[in-house]
Amino acid sequence: MERSNRLSSYPLLRFPFLLFLLLSSSAALTAATSENANKGASFSAAEAEAAVSRFQEYLRINTSQPDPDYATAVRFLRAQADALSLESDVFEFAPGKPLLLLRWPGRIPSLHALLLNSHTDVVPAEPLKWVYPPFSAALDPSTGNIYARGSQDMKCVGLQYLEALRRLRAADFAPDRTIYLSFVPDEEIGGNDGAGRFAASEKFQKMKVGVVLDEGLASPGEEYRVFYGERSPWWLVIRARGAPGHGAKLYDGSAMENLMKSVEAVRRFRAAQFDLVKAGVKAEGEVVSVNLVYLKAGTPSPTGFVMNLQPSEAEVGLDIRVPPNADTEALERRIAEEWAPSSRNMTFEFKHKVSVHDLFGKPAITAADNSNPWWMLLEEAMKKANGKLSKPEIFPASTDSRFFRERGIPAFGFSPMANTPILLHGHNEFLNKDEYLKGIEIYESIIKAFASYKGDTKDEESRAEL
């Protein structure tokens, strides 16, 4: 509108521009129609509106760390579950941190169950840096984007599971396998008091879970991303010691010199790993990443630091992320021999170190190939829902999936958001309402396929025997 008004003041230019506008707007119209044909096509206008408004309602509950309003979130989700006649239970594996577990019993109780996991907490937001307040769940009418903290990570997924069940219920679907939905607290602060304690509980063991779906990442392209493993955090502190000395004196073996030699070695290693990513040889999740997170040295003075003294101690903190199939022994050797050699008066300590192996000593990954029936079902279900999966990836950071994978349970990280910039933990996090609706259809297809699968469970049983 604005554009054609402006153009009318340039009569000579009007015709070609009008033609251009006509062409481009008809192209846009065609694009919009074909997109609509794919997105949320099976929703009536009223259903779509109701689903979107339930999503907004969930987004408006401020469950941001460090003081998440879990009680309101659980109340809201439980009401949703009641409306769908799902069984519900609340567990507090840690006081004040409720975990809501929903259950739709399957027709064949001997089959292993399907678990749909999502976390209810979100990271904090800085309201002043947002176009819309982060807990308003404002829907931009011109784009259909819904702005809210948690719109991508991962309240979308939690409610999409529920909406998919709503549609399956309406279609009189009866699952063969029991379907569980877990809404877990605390993922954003490590998950130990949420999914961690849950997966270790007796309750969880009794659920006989055969496969888990959990969060993934948005994809700016047409294809949906899926994750079959994740890198393990190794948080390393390296300390150097050396003789203190006058700031004017050149001598060997000072703590700072010792530390800087290590930092140089770390940087060379980092660059080599990064080069593999830049050259397209490996994906981000397939290399060992190392980043310097702090440097600590110097002798404090009332005005800052003593400037004519070389300190006797210095340390550096590193955030290392290790892929599940990395040669961890070689990495440990590198740390001991190259990054923190005792010959240079250096020591090291892990502040946090997650094993890349599961409890059975195997790399904690879920097979994403024909050897895994769940993978084949996932691929097939995606096709049925007109969605395309991209090449399976290793998640670059950590999610709750690790608590399930470490117990040998297959888990896929998957958040159905295509054509969406990755904004998790960023300002102006949003999800388009059509993408949201399309994601519900995708889950509908996946849940249907998984819950109807009666294939043999020998692999699961033999795993239990191991």
Question: Is 380 marked as binding a ligand?
Answer: no
Name the helix (H) or strand (E) containing 431: strand 430-432
Work out how close the CB of 215 gets to Zn ion at its nearest, in angstroms, rounded to a whole number: 5
CA 127 to mean position of chain CA atoms: 22
Spot the catalytic one: 187, 284, 429, 444. Answer: 187
Residue 172 is a catalytic residue: no
Cα separation, 442 vs 160, whole angstroms:
9
Work out how close the CB of 183 gets to Zn ion at its nearest, in angstroms, rounded to a whole number: 13
Residue 121 is a catalytic residue: yes
Question: Is 284 marked as binding a ligand?
Answer: no
- Find the length of the chain: 466
Tokens 């990054």, located at residue = 339
Q: Please provide the DSSP assignment of 353-371 as one string.
A: E--SB-TTSSBS----STT
Cα separation, 45 vs 66, whole angstroms:
38
Question: Is 153 marked as binding a ligand?
Answer: yes
Which residues form the interface with Zn ion (CB under 5 A)? 153-154, 215
Spot the catalytic one: 47, 69, 92, 121. Answer: 121
Work out how close the CB of 193 gets to Zn ion at its nearest, in angstroms, rounded to a whole number: 15
Question: Is 188 marked as binding a ligand?
Answer: yes
Q: What angle do CA 77, 79, 80 make, to 5 degrees?
A: 65
Question: Is 349 marked as binding a ligand?
Answer: no
Work out how close the CB of 437 gets to Zn ion at its nearest, in angstroms, rounded to a whole number: 21
Residue number with CB closer to Zn ion (154 or 411): 154
Query: CA-CA distances (angstroms) from residue 451 to 59, 267, 313, 335?
Result: 28, 48, 59, 46
Cα separation, 56 vs 146, whole angstroms:
8
Cα separation, 387 vs 66, whole angstroms:
36
- Tokens for 397, please give them: 């950071």
Residue number with CB closer to Zn ion (153 or 186): 153
Work out how close the CB of 154 gets to Zn ion at its nearest, in angstroms, rounded to a whole number: 4
Cα separation, 257 vs 236, whole angstroms:
19
Residue number with CB closer to Zn ion (153 or 163): 153
- Tokens for 125, please give them: 């937001």
Residue nearest to Zn ion (CB): 153
Query: CA-CA distances (angstroms) from residue 377 to 16, 57, 210, 374, 433?
Result: 52, 32, 13, 5, 27
Residue number with CB closer to Zn ion (210 or 413): 413
Residue number with CB closer to Zn ion (160 or 178): 160
Among all residues, which ones are annotated catalytic? 121, 187
**Which residues participate in the annotated binding site?**
119, 153, 188, 215, 425
**Which residues participate in the annotated binding site for Zn(2+)?**
119, 153, 188, 215, 425
